[in-house]
């Protein structure tokens, strides 16, 4: 069991973020539940139940640099170091062609999915290379959309392809500081965001089809595995998906 290490999970109020934060907490990580709504984070912490590590809820809009810096400063005061960042916070948008997507929606998706990941990784990287002992791990939440888009998903798909570039760059730049960076690409975990899969979503051939889903706990287990490796070992990319998801051969 990992003891006396500190993890920050963004978007921890619900869905994948909540499941991962709770799983890390029960694995012995002091865990910071980060998200925009404090009351939602408090409920997520309450849902975790008894644990051998400490859980803290901190409200933060990851798309705003001042809030991210303040959050990491608070974590440093509370725990003294940062050992893990799970860059999970993000949002999508309804299926739409590019000329039907409002510019403000594009800006909002980029702020949440890409700028937020950059700002949190920037703060984590700085903390990890200056703390003693030096080092830590950053895990970015990519997506199947980091490999192949769904129809009508320009903002979301663009950000997820960019997350792959962020992951590779951090994995390279972190070597000299014992900072490992990996990415988990998730396909059809059962969350509120993905619930529409159960009723049918557009396919590349123009049809609408129901897609299989997996329990979000499988994702949480995968992240805990990645997080628990020694820093001389890195899962650069992991794809966790429903076995019968129409990804291989999509299109």
Rounded Cα gap, residues 8 and 139, in angstroms: 10
From residue 176, alpha-carbon distances to 41, 135, 169, 204, 231 in Å are 35, 9, 13, 43, 12
One of 58, 84, 156, 234 is an active-site residue; which one? Answer: 156
Q: What is the pLDDT of residue 202?
A: 83
Tokens 């895990």, located at residue: 139
CA separation for the pair 27, 84 (Å, rounded): 13
φ, ψ for residue 71, nearest 5 deg? -65, -45
Q: Is 225 a catalytic residue?
A: no
For position 1, what pLDDT does the model report?
Answer: 46
Reduce the DSSP state of residue 53 to 3 states and report it: coil
Which pLDDT score, from 0 to 100, does residue 2 have?
A: 44
Report the pLDDT value the prediction gives residue 11, as an integer from 0 to 100: 95
DSSP letters of 183-212?
EEEEE-B-STTTGGGGT-EE-TTS-EE---
Q: What is the pTM of this model?
A: 0.93
Domains of the chain, first to last: 5-241 (3.40.50.720)
Residue 104 confidence (pLDDT): 96
The Cα 24–Cα 85 span in angstroms is 11
Task: Give the model's pLDDT for residue 3.
Answer: 56
Instruction: State yes or no: cis peptide before 133, omega within 30 of 0.
Output: yes
**pLDDT value at residue 214:** 87
List, run by run, the mean pLDDT of 10-residue segments along the chain (251 residues): 82 96 97 97 96 94 96 96 96 92 96 97 98 97 89 94 98 98 91 76 84 91 98 97 82 52
Nearest to 227, CA basis, from 131, 148, 137: 137
């Amino acid at each position: 069991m990992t003891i006396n290490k500190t993890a920050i999970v963004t978007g921890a109020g619900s869905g994948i973020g909540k499941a991962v934060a709770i799983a890390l907490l029960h694995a012995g990580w002091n865990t910071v539940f980060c998200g925009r709504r404090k009351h939602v984070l408090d409920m997520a912490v309450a849902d975790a139940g008894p644990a051998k590590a400490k859980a803290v809820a901190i409200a933060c809009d990851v798309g705003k640099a001042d809030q991210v810096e303040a959050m990491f400063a608070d974590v440093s005061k509370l725990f003294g170091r940062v050992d893990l960042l799970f860059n999970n916070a993000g949002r999508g948008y309804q299926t739409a062609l590019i000329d039907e997507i409002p510019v403000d929606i594009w800006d909002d998706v980029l702020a949440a999915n890409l700028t937020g990941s950059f700002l949190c990784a920037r703060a984590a990287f700085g903390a990890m290379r200056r703390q003693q002992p030096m080092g830590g791990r950053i895990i970015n939440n990519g997506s199947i959309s980091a490999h192949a888009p769904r129809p009508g998903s320009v903002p979301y798909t663009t950000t997820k392809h960019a997350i792959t570039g962020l992951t590779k760059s951090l994995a390279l730049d972190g070597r000299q500081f014992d900072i490992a960076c990996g990415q988990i690409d998730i396909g059809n975990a059962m969350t509120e965001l993905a619930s529409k899969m159960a009723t049918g979503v557009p396919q590349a051939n123009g049809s609408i089809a129901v897609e299989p889903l997996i329990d979000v706990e499988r994702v949480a287990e995968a992240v805990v595995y990645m997080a628990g490796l020694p820093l001389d070992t890195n899962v650069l990319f992991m794809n966790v998906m429903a076995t019968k998801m129409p990804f291989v051969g999509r299109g």
